[in-house]
A and B are shown apart, each in its own frame.
Chain A
Amino acid sequence: MENKRKIGPFLKDKNSTSKMMFHLFVALLPIILFSFYKNGYLPYQEGKATLIGLFYPLLFIFIPTITSFLTELLWMRFLLHKKGKNLKISLIHSFSIFPGLFLGLILPINTPISILIFGAIFATIIGKMIYGGFGNNIFNPALIGRLFIISTYALTITNNGGYLNPSELDAITTATPLSNVSLQEGIGTYKTLVSPYGNLWNFFFGTIPGAVGETSALFCLLGFIYLVFKKVIKPMIPITYIGTVFFITFLIGSFNDLGIWYPLFQILSGGLFFGACFMATDPVTSPTTPIGQALYGLFLGILTVIFRYLTPYPEGVLTSILTMNLFVYIIDRIGSKARFHKEKAILPFILAIFLIFYTGCSIGTSYQKETTTKDTNFEIVSKEGSGNTVTYVVTQKGYVGKIKAQIKIENGTVISYEVLEQNESFFGKVEDANYINRLLQNQLALKDVDTVSGATITSTALKKLFINTLEDYKENGGTLSGNIVVPPTTTTNFEILEKEKTEESTIYIVSQKGFSGKIKLQIVFQNDAITSIDVLEVKDSYFYKIEDNDYLNTLLFNQNTLEELDTITGATVSSKALKNALMETIKDYEEESYEE
């Protein structure tokens, strides 16, 4: 009976590292396929991509994957052969495809292939091999590759189209939802943040712009559930991570009276689900102790929020993961001590919770402050709406006392600005400078209007009055919500002056209020269509712009789709007035013919 000495235990769990990596790949498959659907199939179907474009996303993911593999093969062949290890076995057990595969999934689709290859080589060598290969790296290799690419070639990628795939390029003007956030003044609204991309379901399914593989929260979630079920990843990290981001943004949102959509928008954007489920849980670079994992998730959440709100880089997820990779050693040290002495974990947790509330409250109130500082000296005395016009009576603190003014806004444009009461000492100077007219004329760029020297405070107050009123109008008045009762649209601005019916045609003479005074028009219908529009009378100062743009003919050509027609910049009110007059006339004409 010859026995070789073996070391126990003699039972082994059936799970193995190779199986775990296989499960990881399986979990990524739906994400890869979705990326193919979103970035390849959809544009192809819409005719915006060629056959190559159809398979481009798959190519985009495959190329760095194979690059990673080859890089590692060469590295092992020429640098590690001395160790006498079997090249094939070491290569298989090094799981070399993953840095490249992940890199392909976390980059914008318009990253040039050459850069992509370069990034994959960088990720494999600098992110993984120089530490000693699989299991020894401190940072997530794919994130190292991405950091390298983004820090060196960000501009190239942006110029190449950035995150938008061919079908998005036409439909969406701003890049990703989060870069849209940073373009906002203030915290943004549902309309400006979510609506441009559809609704929150689009965010959940992933039909929003973003890196190749990270837009779909749904498929990340499915992958996460699969991996937890197969006992591959540490479920604590994604749960605490996403939970923390949700909670902080919920705080921020509630400070600014935003609904539950706001934190949902935040967690569904910027590849948080992908980062949390696949990148933060990378076993090699995340903590091993349960308490460490919870702390890791909490701090990842805090960092992500900080990156998103307080730095010019809106997509904070991947950067936070890379940052937290640095602290894994310390976190694990705390985590391992806390296994025996729970009290050792109290301080870090208190710190984390403090930071969560602190970031939530301070970021939340920072937006609030902006609005409150605006508001302290500004008051709305009354607000009345009729038709398309909202009349504000507002006050603003001036140099001596309050300045009271009446501001009329029609369809978003201020049409009159009258000062009702004021005690300003230097109001004369303001009048001399024709300041109020200047404000009216430059209402699209109010910030650039210089104040009147010698009456700085008064003129600033007048300007603020203007800005604040407009802002209130944008927030509430545009839809006339709030406590304003909208009278049924009695079109006081529109009037039919004459109507003459002959056998062949109907001739309308109508008047519509324009920028300054009424515009009188003659509109002729023949065979149920407008055949001519003539302006009989007009006082608007910018009406020449209408003529320059041949707007009347545009109206005539588009008479069936008037509502979608754009107005003329520089003569918004006048063009709107014309459009409205035409629409009302058509309405009247149709009603009448219907009655017949």
Chain B
Amino acid sequence: MSKGIKLLGHKELTKNKKLGVCNKPKYVYIPLISQNDTNITILVKKGDYVYKGSHIGKRKGNLRIPIISSVSGTVIDFVTKTYHNGDQVKCVQIENDFKEKYEDNRMTRKERVKLSKDEFINLLHDNAVIGMGGAGFPTYIKYNTNEKIKTLLVNAVECEPFITADYALIKEHPEELLESMDMIMEINHIENGIIAIKKTNTELIEILNNYIGTYLHIKIVEVPNLYPMGWERALIKEVLKEEYNKLPIEKGIVVNNISTIYAIYEALKFNRPLTERIVTFTGFGLNEPQNVLVKIGMEAKEVLSSLKIKEKDALFVAGGPMMGECIPDDNLVISSDLNCILILPFEKKALTLECLRCGKCVQVCPAKLSPVLIKDNIHNIERLKELEINRCIECGLCSYICPSKILVREFVRKAKENVRKEENNGK
């Protein structure tokens, strides 16, 4: 079984560049979506004045999480913009008054020692802290458990090529990150703290080692430079040698992305909501690739205009090169779970050949699936279930490796959809 594949990182494009700042947009567009769920209750109407951190929407159901405004200003419209999964999503357009004003009754500072676990969970919920590695899972839910949490595993692997957002964050705030981990562990009575970093990122390991001395219960674990090492399941297996069925909490493990840890820091220390993040703007289609601290809800083109796109018909990708989606227009808004915008020179589509059944996709699949067989049986629901298709994490390695340049992952996605439809029909 493959642990993953070593991919060409291209991280040198951005990792040693200065962090840019671009957080003063005239308008922000807050997408009313959470984890592809657009079933959001809207809490504002046109003309309302909103503060920074005000709840402007609310996701229903078990994974409830507020949608917050990232600036203070006036709601002027509801418009459709492109979300990073490529869909057109309804957004709240807010005109920024550049006052960065919080609600009056909001405490600007809270003593961390007094925080109980419940208060901690509420804090994360109210400040809309979500997984910033790409999945966008509400973070408070991970802590809202009766199980004993033994280990806090911080994912700083950033295994996807090109992306260096976490890299830049660690370089910028190493001390804050460690302090945040320390606070989380104290509040939740967690004994072990682990930061997982690629062993090739020696610079980061050095930086963290300079500060880690005072945090005896936190250690750094180096992981191999493979894709998709940052996948939760793979990471836990690599670092803790544990396997779980559905969620890591079964084994007393909570995994957080390192950017999320910083968001938690801001929430814990200053009661600040998640309104800004670092996004990597990179790719061979850009003249000046770099990491930029942006306001959530900004339009990507606003940032890109200063970074000089080389050619007109460049490819525009939201996310990394493996799991990212190509965005067909220029209306992409930056949401809190988007870590990278990739601009690639346009290439003619590679000619797709017949599948020669070489089995490379089977060999390479980190979820142990057999993509070639899934492709063969795309309409055979029974067989698809037997192939345990729902284990697919859409890492894209099957499409990457295919010598016939077949878009294998798309077949798997389609098959997943077929199974889901069938199951819904059954109900």
Contacts and interface: CB of A to CB of B under 8 A. Distances in A.
Are A and B bound to each other? yes
Given A8-B321, A8-B326, A336-B387, A293 B359 contact: yes
B373 A11 contact: no
Given A234-B359, A332-B373, A11 B328 contact: no
A3 B327 contact: yes
A567 B21 CA distance: 104
A258 B351 CA distance: 56
Interface stretch (A284-292, A299-307, A359-367, A576-584): A284-292
Contacts of B161: 11
A336 B385 CA distance: 12
Given A1-B316, A17-B404, A339-B370, A10 B329 contact: no
Contacts of B359: 234, 283, 287-290, 293
Contact of A8 (B8, B325, B388): B325
Contacts of B317: 8, 10
A286 B386 CA distance: 21
Interface in A222-265: 231-232, 234
A16 B325 CA distance: 23
A284 B8 contact: no
A5 interface: yes
A232 to B, nearest CB: 8
A288 B357 CA distance: 6
B355 A10 contact: no
Interface string B337-375: 000001010100111011111111011000011101100
Which has the most chain A C-beta neighbours within 10 Å: B316, B323, B402, B403? B403
Given A7-B326, A337-B386, A340-B368, A135 B396 contact: no
Contacts of A17: 353, 356, 358, 403-404
Interface size class of B (residues with CB under 8 A): 35 or more
Contacts of B324: 8-10
Contacts of B403: 13, 15-17, 19-20
B187 interface: no
B137 interface: no
A289 B2 CA distance: 12
Given A288-B362, A290-B362, A283 B356 contact: yes
A1 B310 CA distance: 11
A339 B313 contact: no
Given A3-B326, A93-B353, A11 B7 contact: yes
A517 B309 CA distance: 111
Interface in A489-545: none
B117 interface: no
Interface string B3-23: 000011000000000000000
Contact of B350 (A3, A12, A283): A12
A83 interface: no
Contacts of A285: 357
Contacts of A289: 359, 362, 370, 373
Contacts of A15: 401, 403
B330 A1 contact: yes
Given A3-B328, A8-B322, A20-B403, A335 B354 contact: no
A19 B360 CA distance: 15
B407 A89 contact: no
Contact of B373 (A4, A234, A288): A288
Nearest to B7: A11
B329 A89 contact: no
A89 B322 contact: no
A529 to B, nearest CB: 73
B301 interface: yes
A369 interface: no
Given A17-B403, A133-B354, A134-B354, A6 B301 contact: no
Given A135-B355, A337-B386, A11 B362 contact: no
Nearest to B283: A10
A5 B327 CA distance: 6
A283 B358 contact: yes
Contacts of B314: 1, 3
B106 interface: no
A2 interface: yes
A134 B353 CA distance: 9
B382 to A, nearest CB: 12
Interface string A306-344: 000000000000000000000000001001110110000
B312 A6 contact: no
A136 interface: yes
Contacts of B351: 89, 93
A345 B401 CA distance: 26
A4 B327 CA distance: 8
Contacts of B397: 9
A93 B410 contact: no
A11 B372 contact: no
A283 B357 contact: yes
A339 B369 contact: yes
Which has the most chain A C-beta neighbours within 10 Å: B8, B344, B353, B401? B353
Contacts of B325: 8
Contacts of B326: 3, 5-8, 10
Which has the most chain B C-beta neighbours within 10 Å: A6, A16, A133, A293? A6
Contacts of A2: 312-313
Interface string B390-411: 0100001101111111010110
Nearest to A286: B357
B396 to A, nearest CB: 4
Contacts of B400: 9, 11-13
Interface in B58-87: 86
A339 B392 CA distance: 13
Interface string A68-108: 00000000000000000000010001100000000000000
Contacts of A284: 356-357
A231 B360 CA distance: 9
B315 interface: yes
A5 B329 CA distance: 8
Contact of B312 (A1, A283, A288, A339): A1
Contacts of B315: 3, 6, 10
Contacts of A5: 86, 326-328
Given A11-B321, A340-B388, A332 B370 contact: yes
A289 B325 CA distance: 29
Contacts of A93: 351, 353-354
Nearest to A1: B330
A1 B370 contact: no
Given A9-B399, A11-B322, A288-B372, A20 B328 contact: no
Contacts of A136: 354
A283 B359 CA distance: 8
A10 B344 contact: yes
A8 B410 CA distance: 9
Interface string B170-205: 000000000000000000000000000000000000
A234 to B, nearest CB: 6
Contacts of A1: 301, 309, 312, 314, 316, 329-330
B264 to A, nearest CB: 30
Interface string A123-140: 000000000011110000
Contacts of A6: 315, 326, 349
Interface of A: 1-13, 15-20, 89, 93-94, 133-136, 231-232, 234, 283-290, 293, 332, 335-337, 339-340
26 contacts: A1-B316, A3-B313, A3-B315, A3-B328, A4-B328, A7-B410, A8-B324, A9-B323, A9-B400, A9-B409, A10-B344, A12-B405, A16-B404, A17-B358, A133-B354, A135-B356, A135-B357, A283-B357, A283-B358, A284-B356, A288-B362, A289-B362, A336-B373, A339-B362, A339-B370, A340-B368
Given A10-B324, A13-B402, 15 more contacts: A1-B301, A6-B349, A8-B317, A8-B326, A10-B326, A12-B399, A17-B358, A89-B351, A93-B351, A134-B353, A134-B354, A284-B356, A284-B357, A332-B373, A339-B368
Q: Which 3 A-B pairs have the closest CB atoms?
A: A135-B354, A288-B359, A9-B396
